Amino acid sequence: MVLALALLLAQAPSIEQSMNIRSVAQARISPDGRWVAWTETGTDWEQNAYITQIWVARADGSGRRQLTQNKKSSTAPTWSPDSKQLAFLSDRGSKTQIQLISPEGGEAREVSSHETAVGSFEFSPDGKQFAFTGADPESKDKKARKDKYGEFEIVEGDYTLSHLWLQPLAGGKATRLTEGGFTVQGFEWSPDGKQIAFSAPADPDLSHRETTELYVVSVGNKAVRKLVAGPGAESNPTWSPDSTQIAYTWAEGEPNSYLNTHLMVVPATGGMARRIAEKFDENPSIAAWCASGLYFGGMERTQSALYRANPATGSFERVGTAGAASLSKDCSAAAWAQGRPNEIAEVWTTPLKNFAPAKLSDQAGQLKQFKLATREVVEWKSQDGAQIEGILIKPRDFDPKKKYPLLVVIHGGPTGIDTPVWTADRYYPIERFVEKGALVLRPNYRGSAGYGEKFRSLNVRNLGVGDAWDVISGVDALVAKGFVDKDRVGAMGWSQGGYISAFLTCASDRFKAISVGAGISDWMTCYVNTDIHPFTRSYLKATPWEDPEIYRKTSPITYVKNAKTPTLIQHGELDKRVPPPNAYELYQALKDVKVETRLVVYKGFGHGIDKPKQQRHVMEENEAWFDKYLLGSR
pLDDT in tens, 484-520: 999 999 999 999 999 999 999 999 999 999 999 999 9
pLDDT at 2: 47
pLDDT at 480: 96
Tell me the pTM: 0.93
> Where on the phi/psi map is residue 85: left (φ > 0), alpha (ψ -120 to 50), or beta?
beta
d(CA 543, CA 539): 10
Indicate if the pLDDT at residue 128 is higher than 60. Answer: yes
How long is the chain? Answer: 634
Per-residue pLDDT band for 628 (boundaries 50, 70, 90) equals: very high
pLDDT at 255: 60
Query: 373-631: what fold?
Result: Rossmann fold (3.40.50)
Q: Which residues contact 216 (CB under 8 A, 6 or more apart)?
A: 195, 196, 197, 198, 224, 225, 227, 246, 268
Q: Where are the domains of the chain?
A: 373-631
pLDDT in tens, 271-287: 999 999 999 999 999 99
Per-residue pLDDT band for 634 (boundaries 50, 70, 90) equals: very low
Asked if residues 249 and 257 have their Cβ atoms less than 8 Å apart, the reply is no
Asked if residues 53 and 74 have their Cβ atoms less than 8 Å apart, the reply is yes
- Average pLDDT rounded to a whole number, residues 236-251: 94
| SS3 of the chain: helix, strand, coil, percent, to 5 | 20, 35, 45
d(CA 347, CA 180): 40
Asked if residues 504 and 519 have their Cβ atoms less than 8 Å apart, the reply is no
Per-residue pLDDT band for 1 (boundaries 50, 70, 90) equals: very low
Mean pLDDT in the chain?
93
CB half-sphere exposure, 607, CA atoms < 13 A: 16
Indicate if the pLDDT at residue 471 is higher than 90. Answer: yes
Rg (the chain; Cα; Å):
25
